[in-house]
A and B are shown apart, each in its own frame.
Chain A
Amino acid sequence: MFERLAIQASSFAGDIDGLILLIAVLVGFWFIVAEGMFFWLIWRFRERPDQKSQYITGKEKHLKRWVTIPHALVLVCDVFIIIGAVRVWYDVKQHLPEPDTVIRVEGQQWAWVFQHPGPDNELDTGDDIWTTDDLYVEVDRTYHFRLSSRDVLHNFSVPAFRLKQDAVPGRTITGWFHATSTGTYDIQCAEICGIGHGVMAGRINIQDAETHASWMSENATTTAAQ
């Protein structure tokens, strides 16, 4: 359903959309029921000639049922939401699958700096490729990213991945993604970080294996020297 509205380009995007859909359906159901009941009661007990209003204490059992029964049903729905949320949280944030590649992502006012391992697939070696605002990854590979900030709070957000992670000065936070479709998608900062926050945009370029290898061989030597 969400796929039609916004592309899902990571392995966990569907899980997150499913959770949002679950919450929207359950909360939406109770919203419609509550509003329907609300307006029906307004209409049912509307002003009529010679009818006085009643004072209701809410202590009578037949009245309390109007609160307790929906309350219990909402709590049952909450259980489903909590189970779904914990499962997605564990899969996306707690459990890190083994990486094929590790990259480094640094946020700064007001750009993203990316350190890609070169052809040796090892970070902090001579063939690393540094870029600003453009991240290059290969489709169908699992990446770990080491996220940090050079100055203030930022948030590494890739809407097509349904990925958001705070970048906190002084901390290195590890996250992961597994891109499932090629293309170029937005990277944005999702944490107000100063006057240039609105222009802190980057791009993730998801390439097939051949294109990525070609990009790597073209850039490994040029940026390593800088």
Chain B
Amino acid sequence: MQRTRSFGALFAVLLTVAACMPAEPEQGIARGEALYDTCVPCHGPQGQGNEALGAPLIAGLPQWYLENQLEKYENGWRGGHPMDTVGIRMRSMANALDLEGDRESVSEYVASMPVPAVPASLEVGDPQAGQQVYQTCIACHGPEAGGNEAVQSPPLVGQHDWYLLSQLHKFKRGWRGVNPNDTWGQTMRPNSMLLSDEDMEDVVAYIRSLDQTEE
């Protein structure tokens, strides 16, 4: 009788512990917020990015763009070039989102984050000359550099200038936008190849000048 009571008590304790265990949140912002803990060391608690680690601002980027990029990283379509140290780092982290719905959830959460203003860091580039260069970009990224989902072009305005410049260089060098599965990246690459180093600095300075929320 005593033994039966002991087993009963043990069972009740185990049941209580099981009931108190946090359940996996359903797909959505709550789950995305929990997953975002993995992103904080590089992208920061506000998603503001970190130049020292090459991590861009991601807060407030469109959900479709975030999902697309995570998919590209997971499949090695982006961050697959052996010289792209920063991209490789992100690819590894994207692979950690291994459950169904992880990618969508974290993208939804990041897209919902308020966009922090980021300071300019580059002292090079002529915005006026950049405006001319930017005419090529308007077709996809829009006149205000706000992006266009129809052609999978991300918004550029509000992004760190050092990041924009680094991505232009990566496209031109063939570190990004070369994988046959990265259709839209392959579209961007030829456009970057038309630009000289000076053109890149100018166009980034111009995009920077479009940002009215600058600190």
The answer on a CB contact under 8 Å between B85 and A199 is no
- Known: A108-B85, A113-B82, A196-B89. Is A226-B41 also a contact (CB below 8 A)? no
- Known: A195-B38, A195-B41. Is A110-B81 also a contact (CB below 8 A)? no
The answer on a CB contact under 8 Å between B178 and A108 is no
The answer on a CB contact under 8 Å between A111 and B174 is no
B186 CB, nearest partner CB in chain A, Å: 14
Range of interface residues on B (Cβ < 8 Å): 10 to 19
Return chain B residues, CB-CB under 8 Å to A200: 92
Return chain A residues, CB-CB under 8 Å to B82: 113-115, 130-132
The answer on a CB contact under 8 Å between B92 and A199 is yes
Mask, B61-85, CB within 8 Å of A = 1, is 0000000000000001000111101
A104-124 contacts to B (CB < 8 Å): 108-111, 113-115
The answer on a CB contact under 8 Å between B81 and A196 is no
Range of interface residues on A (Cβ < 8 Å): 20 to 34
Return chain B residues, CB-CB under 8 Å to A225: 174
Return chain A residues, CB-CB under 8 Å to B174: 225-226
A111 to B41, CA, bound (A): 17
Is A95 among interface residues, defined by CB-CB distance under 8 A?
no
- Known: A195-B38, A199-B95, A199-B96. Is A226-B81 also a contact (CB below 8 A)? yes
B90-137 contacts to A (CB < 8 Å): 91-93, 95-96
A179-226 contacts to B (CB < 8 Å): 194-196, 198-200, 225-226
B130 CB, nearest partner CB in chain A, Å: 28
Return chain A residues, CB-CB under 8 Å to B80: 132
Among B81, B82, B85, B175, which residue has the most Cβ atoms of chain A within 10 A? B82
Question: A110: which of B76, B83, B93, B178 is its contact (CB, 8 Å)?
Answer: B93
A221 to B38, CA, bound (A): 38
Return chain B residues, CB-CB under 8 Å to A130: 82-83
Is A65 among interface residues, defined by CB-CB distance under 8 A?
no
Residue of B nearest to A132 (CB): B82
Is B35 among interface residues, defined by CB-CB distance under 8 A?
no
The answer on a CB contact under 8 Å between A111 and B92 is yes
Is A71 among interface residues, defined by CB-CB distance under 8 A?
no
Supplied contacts A108-B85, A130-B82, 14 more A-B pairs, CB within 8 Å: A110-B93, A111-B89, A111-B92, A113-B82, A114-B82, A132-B81, A132-B91, A150-B85, A195-B41, A195-B93, A196-B89, A196-B93, A199-B96, A226-B83
7 interchain pairs (CB within 8 A)? A130-B82, A130-B83, A132-B91, A196-B96, A199-B95, A199-B96, A226-B175
Listed in ascending order, the chain B residues whose CB lies under 8 Å from chain A are 38, 41, 76, 80-83, 85, 88-89, 91-93, 95-96, 174-175, 178
